[in-house]
Amino acid sequence: MSGVAGGDRILKADAWNVIRAYIEILKGFAFFKDYRISGSYHSKEDFGDIDLIINISNRFSETKPIIKKRLIDFLYNLSEDTILPFRSYKYDQKRFYNSGEIVTILFTQGNGKTIQIDNIISLSDEETEFKKRFLDMPAEIQGLCLGIIKTIYVESPVSYSNYRKYCLTDNQELEWNLSSSKLELRKVTLTDKFKELDREVMYTTTNWQDVNSLLRGYISLSFEEILEKLDKTLKNPRSRNRIKGLFNSMVSVKSGEVGTPKGNHKTECIKKVNEFL
């Protein structure tokens, strides 16, 4: 069994039929617009789950939690022969798992095979594209990009005069923060040892071109090429520590991955980051 739902693993050759059948069901959800397949679908031959970015019409300008509740109610009211009770030990008999922007279900076409589907909620075409671009990156590239983008103003401090509108004081600095849902510019208040005391979001976007602009020179490189470039170009010791810390917190070998090709690849990437940085 795989994932929180306890689904079967599925071969890529069979995945499209499952996705197509599930989308036909989602078309009955009045707010459904379209979907995108994300994550490892394009690079792996079998999966423990399928990641679908579900683009939902927000015609009433509701918050994302309310939109998610609408989707959960729709799925929960479907037959248990279609949206199954979970089979995992920890979440046995649950019929959905709500985490952040994701609604997880256990789906079957009625052929005895089950698959965990992670519905990743999006409320616009722009947000859908943003999520797909981020989630399609390998985990090790994601981990490096999350760190690199935080060091932009550490490596090239902005002058107070250029950013007067943000009213920066001596113990404050600007910081970009990237996630699967958005890119933020934050004003961060620090101690003299660079421990964060407070933060304020100054700007938010889901335009992926903003990420491309900030990470130009990195985002098109391989994992090893990014590490080599960082080793040559980083000037501030804070940058190395920040990238390394973020990478180690994001990329970890889960218990079920120990000894597997995926787990071994993660272990090697972690080793390389800590050696280079």
What distance in Å separates the CA atoms of residue 129 and residue 261, rounded to the nearest whole number?
A: 29
Cross-strand pairs, 187: 174, 200
Q: Break the chain into its structural domains and give their ranges.
A: 10-127, 137-276
CATH 3.40.50.80 fits 10-127, yes or no: no
Cross-strand pairs, 172: 189
For residue 213, the SS3 value is: helix
Q: Residue 97 has which token pair?
A: 């798992």
One digit per residue, the tens of pLDDT, for the chain of length 277 reads 568 899 998 888 888 999 999 999 999 999 999 999 998 777 778 888 999 999 999 999 999 999 999 999 999 999 999 999 999 888 888 999 999 999 999 999 877 789 999 999 999 999 999 999 999 999 999 999 999 999 999 998 765 555 566 778 889 989 999 999 999 999 999 998 889 999 999 999 999 999 999 999 898 999 999 999 999 999 999 999 999 999 999 998 877 678 878 889 999 999 999 998 8
| pTM attached to this predicted model | 0.89
CA separation, residue 50 to residues 100, 142, 201 (Å): 17, 19, 32
What distance in Å separates the CA atoms of residue 277 and residue 261, rounded to the nearest whole number?
A: 24
What distance in Å separates the CA atoms of residue 25 and residue 87, rounded to the nearest whole number?
A: 22
What distance in Å separates the CA atoms of residue 128 and residue 124, rounded to the nearest whole number?
A: 6
